Amino acid sequence: MWKIWTLVVSLSMHLVGFGQDNVKDKVVLALKTGNAKELSSHFIPNIDLTVGKNSDVYSKAQAEQILDRFFEELDPRSFEVEHEGVSKMGDSYYIGNLTGAERTMRVTFFLKRTGSDLQVKQLRIEPSSGSR
């Protein structure tokens, strides 16, 4: 019985990690390709969004419009995650560089578990200290 319980717990933990990686990978791909619609589909209903000097809490629809304009201007070429971890509140976070045609932006996003789903609760896109 103990072996079965251990197997069930182990498998559950693996599946939770897999779901997290799946959402993270979808967010990374949306950033890489500048796909605001796909990116916003992973947001909580009201997301804490920072783009440059503008920061506020926006609905998913508002955030999608803001990001669509931003991506048109930036013309994303690549996105690479450089660091990841878990916050004190238990949310997973990812930090990376989003490279556009003429500049690089530093991106941080936090994934929060809401029920059985993982969603982006905060997204910050700020000028990189080494931006060209």
CATH of residue 67's domain is 3.10.450.50
Question: What is the number of domains present in the chain?
Answer: 1
Q: Which residues contact 114 (CB under 8 A, 6 or more apart)?
A: 44
55 within some domain: yes
pLDDT in the model for residue 4: 55
- The answer to whether residue 132 scores a pLDDT higher than 80 is no
pLDDT digits (tens, 9 = 90+) for 23-77: 999 999 999 999 999 999 999 999 999 999 999 999 999 999 999 999 999 999 9
- The answer to whether residue 18 scores a pLDDT higher than 60 is no
132 within some domain: no
With vertex at residue 106, the alpha carbon angle to CA 69 and CA 70, rounded to the nearest 5 degrees, is 5
pLDDT in the model for residue 129: 81
Domain that holds residue 117: 2-127
